[in-house]
Structure 1
């Protein structure tokens, strides 16, 4: 008599049959492009006539000052936008959760920018940042300050992009943080109230420690997204990377080399380098966060 096999969903052939459509889509649109990008990074020429070029594409990218500038801008953007947006999001989420009535309404209002086209929001922000009739310079004039050339100044391109990036990153963060706040056991706060804990003590000793997994998730996702920033640049500066490419980022550099310059090999080499840097940074970040959690 054969022994009864212990049931396990992942070992059932039918389970793989149901997963097959999703696996095919992932393989075609995620895994295959990844390997194709890697192979193309060692080739030169057009898409229809490629030849093996060894490491020449990587040498070109790594010696290109435009790529260095794009990576510098990307790093500045990521390390400014992510922490600033996360702190503001945490404050707003806590205010909505603790102090404001009609939470559902405000959650909807905060989530609307996340489901709105980045290009559409960028067009609106172009009007906000306009030197002559923008609303931001209008308010600066009320305080007697001179207008700022937000969009057509080499010095202001990255600060303008950072402001836009912080605002566009709030919606997703707030919704995720509100979900994290709801998962905190209310009994913790009742016990804290019994011992006369102040609001800031409850926040620092109960709320914040309980939100560490949520904050960890947001840091990882936001940093990866920040290193891949492209849509905000394209929308804010009207399809360019700012005046004299002053707001060029790593992905915009890849786009320019692939579609404008017609050099897919160099674009793919830059893609692989960016992928490896994101992978390395994510690994280091997870190690640091793991030590902090302990």
Structure 2
């Protein structure tokens, strides 16, 4: 009788625990509902709505189905291919300058015994600065007449470029801004991986007679390959989506003479300035395919599995 009563109590306790867990799970799911609805409303719905609009001629109120004409229009547009060229030009030089330079700075910081945290903070500060604020500062620093950069160059007797006022130099101004803003992130990521490399490898190399340069070339650099691949992919994705700084510096048309207009700025100009939402949506999906293709290529080149 006692055993039966004990079994009944245990069974009742398990049922209560099961009910409590179920009720607790329901409460947590209820907390997730607002986030889930936000994702559906602000991420999933715009993706499919943009895909639908890419097959319509639309000004936001009047729509007409035109099939793939928007895609043909974008692919035959001179300003669009100019924006593609600008995007790739700025992105390529941003990546090939920032990653090696950031790696060198990270190696120097890693070799110091003191002030490491100080250097981390100093170099990372630009990355946490608003890109809009940074662009406005660079517009002042690189001003052709009142800018600090041209004042220094003129004092040294060097040529003073027009920077953002000249189509020949405007993209280089954006590249300088991009390098300054992104290099802190590269340094922190490289530094984290540098500190994860086993010291035993360096000790073995010392025993074999390898000097500091040889250790850096044959131990440090090869062990940094996954980090370089990560930085290359994230850098490319960010570069291909560039919009904020070029909009602040040159407006939606990327003035002067569309020399700074990127794909993101082209989409904004056609959608929210020209009210050609079908064209803008088609350009968005073309940009998405370009990013997808180059991400896939980067992964393959880096010998990483999808």
**TM-score > 0.5, shorter chain as reference:** yes
Correspondence list, 1:1-294, <5 A:
14=25, 17=29, 22-99=35-112, 101-237=114-250, 241-290=254-303
Aligned residue for 1:243, secondary structure, equals coil
| Deviation per residue, 1:251-289 (Å, 9 max, x gap) | 000010111111111001000000001101111111111
After superposing the two structures, state which structure 1 stretch, 109-118 or 139-148, moved more.
139-148
Contact (CA 8 Å) 1:118, 1:235: kept in 2 or not?
Answer: no
After superposing the two structures, state which structure 1 stretch, 148-157 or 25-34, moved more.
25-34
After superposing the two structures, state which structure 1 stretch, 98-107 or 58-67, moved more.
98-107
2: CA distance, partners of 1:213 / 1:26? 31
Aligned residue for 2:165, secondary structure, equals coil
TM-align CA RMSD: 2.1
- Rg larger for: 2
Contact (CA 8 Å) 1:233, 1:240: kept in 2 or not?
Answer: no
- 1:20 Cα deviation from its structure 2 partner: 5.7
1: CA distance, partners of 2:42 / 2:189? 27
| Deviation per residue, 1:194-229 (Å, 9 max, x gap) | 222111211111111111111111111100000011
**Corresponding residue for residue 8 of structure 1:** none
Contact (CA 8 Å) 1:126, 1:237: kept in 2 or not?
Answer: no
Contact (CA 8 Å) 1:43, 1:52: kept in 2 or not?
Answer: yes
TM-score under structure 1 normalisation?
Answer: 0.89
State the number of aligned residues: 280
| Deviation per residue, 1:114-156 (Å, 9 max, x gap) | 1111111111111110111211112211321232111111111
**Corresponding residue for residue 17 of structure 2:** none
| Deviation per residue, 1:136-177 (Å, 9 max, x gap) | 112211321232111111111112111211211101111111
2: CA distance, partners of 1:80 / 1:58? 29
After superposing the two structures, state which structure 1 stretch, 192-201 or 86-95, moved more.
192-201
- 1:61 Cα deviation from its structure 2 partner: 0.7
